Amino acid sequence: ADDLHTEGAVDVVQLITDLGSFVTVSALVLATAVLLLVRRHFTEVVALVAGAALVYAAVRIAKEGIDRPRPARPLEVAHDSSFPSGHAAYATVWIGVALLVAGALRGLASRAALLTLAIVIAVAVGLSRIYLRVHFWSDVAGGWGLGAGILGTCAAIALIVSYIRQNESEPAPSGGSP
């Protein structure tokens, strides 16, 4: 495995891993939230921001509670404990953002391309953490699962709330027996 690591490759992988950093994902969430606010998609904004905040909190809590040591001889400085991978968890936000933004795009091909790109980013970020020896495979899988679970739950709640709010504004059907 040591033969696979070159300075150039490590530099490229560090750029990829930065796509899953808290700072990068926070900027992505902020930009997407502004876009959604302009389009008056308030429920989606709440779901996205709450989901991202809950992913951050869950990563912090899990790292403190599990306190798993990191792999030996890392190629990048990493702090805190190893499980779950925060970068992998935060990278799932790219997929959530892609799903929200895809609704504004025309054509199935554009939507599929955007979602595919987001999935590739999330996978690349997770694998970059393994390559840089700052996480084990299980740390990355745990981060992906944590992020996907929280974001999926927030999305489901947003769908239910939207459905209920939409049905409240519709008049009751007339005629017929009660």
Active site residues: 87, 135
Q: What end-to-end distance do the CA atoms of the chain give, in Å?
A: 72
Region of 171 (left: φ > 0; alpha: ψ -120 to 50; beta: rest) is beta
What is the torsion angle, in degrees rounded to the nearest 10, for the CA atoms of residue 41, residue 161, residue 103 and residue 86?
Answer: 90
Place of tokens 């997770």: 126
